[in-house]
């Protein structure tokens, strides 16, 4: 019995040593574990069968170590097969359907123009020749009588409003003033609010007692740019009679002069003179002869001029 126990004991020790050797071998053969990020495949567990106990023999047993277990085969790394994706073929462009051109409307052929027969144009009537500017003057007794009658109508505040402008040229205006005073007897006076006239040749503060048989009651008010000679005379009259500044400057002609003027206007205007509302005209002076032109009756121009040279009564100097 004791021999059997020793034998069993030896076998147990042998098995223990074999197992220890095998475990050490396995510890050396196992490769280091990969990082945690890369997980290796689990290895199959190997089982070691314990050697069967030999039959006891008469001889003393020989202690022998069992051969180390064969290391587990390291799995060969499989070659990495790179899969290259085939390029996606570009879509084949689908040709757009051909557009059919819209039919173009053909222009409708215009009918051939019919021949036009040109008629002979009627002869235009000849344009009326403008009447030559006629020159009128009041020389006969009948003309003067008509002029005097027209003057009396104006003196009574009836008839058309007659205004005769002076030349725009300053020099011509100065010469005309001298001619009127020296050759036509024109008078310059100042009229106060009581319609009294004052001249420089009359006594101071005494009004002029005008002779209505000689002088016209058709008074013209001096306005605008007055000639220098006229301004000087008016200043002398105001100073001589000590008149207030509110007096009015007027020009006074002989009755025969105004009769010739109104008679000439009536000749130019014709029948329209009696029905007219206003008459505008202008004095013209060429250095020798005084005329009236640019006559306008109620806005309608009247061709012609009035010659007043026959109305000169006296002239202190030749002009």
- Determine the 3-state secondary structure of 182 from DSSP: helix
Predicted confidence band of residue 254 (pLDDT cuts 50, 70, 90): very high
Predicted confidence at residue 98, as pLDDT, reads 45
Mean pLDDT of the chain: 75
| Sign of the torsion formed by the C-alpha atoms of 271, 274, 276 and 281 | positive
The pTM (predicted TM-score) of the whole model is 0.58
Nearest partner of 159 among 204, 76, 85, 217, judged by Cα:
217
Position 106 confidence tier, pLDDT thresholds 50, 70, 90: low
Tokens representing 238 are 């105001």
**Cα-only R_g, the chain:** 75
């Amino acid at each position: 019995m004791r021999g059997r126990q020793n034998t069993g004991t030896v076998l147990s020790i042998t098995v223990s040593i074999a197992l220890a050797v095998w475990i050490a071998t396995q510890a050396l053969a196992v490769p280091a574990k990969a990082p945690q990020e890369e997980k290796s495949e689990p290895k199959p567990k190997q089982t070691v069968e314990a050697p069967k106990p030999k039959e006891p023999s008469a001889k003393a047993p020989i202690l022998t170590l069992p051969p180390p277990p064969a290391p587990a085969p390291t799995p060969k790394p499989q070659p990495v097969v790179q899969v290259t994706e085939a390029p996606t073929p570009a879509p084949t462009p689908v040709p757009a359907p051909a557009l059919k051109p819209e039919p173009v409307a053909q222009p409708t052929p215009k009918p051939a123009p019919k021949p036009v027969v040109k008629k002979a144009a009627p002869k235009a009537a000849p344009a009326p020749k403008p009447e030559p500017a006629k020159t009128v003057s009041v020389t006969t007794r009948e003309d003067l009588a008509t002029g005097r009658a027209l003057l009396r109508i104006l003196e009574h505040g009836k008839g058309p409003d007659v205004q005769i402008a002076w030349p725009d040229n300053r020099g011509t205006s100065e010469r005309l003033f001298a001619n009127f005073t020296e050759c036509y007897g024109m008078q310059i006076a100042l009229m106060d609010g009581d319609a009294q006239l004052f001249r420089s040749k009359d006594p101071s503060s005494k009004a002029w007692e005008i002779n209505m048989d000689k002088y016209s009651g058709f008074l013209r008010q001096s306005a605008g740019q007055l000639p220098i000679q006229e301004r000087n005379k008016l200043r002398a009259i105001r100073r001589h009679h000590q008149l207030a500044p509110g007096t009015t400057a007027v020009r006074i002609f002989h009755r025969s002069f105004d009769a010739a003027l109104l008679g000439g206007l009536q000749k130019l205007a014709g029948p329209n003179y009696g029905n007219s509302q206003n008459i505008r005209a202008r004095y013209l002076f060429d250095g020798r002869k005084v005329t009236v032109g640019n006559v306008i009756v109620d806005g309608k121009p009247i061709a012609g001029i009035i010659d007043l040279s026959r109305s000169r009564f006296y002239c202190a100097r030749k002009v």
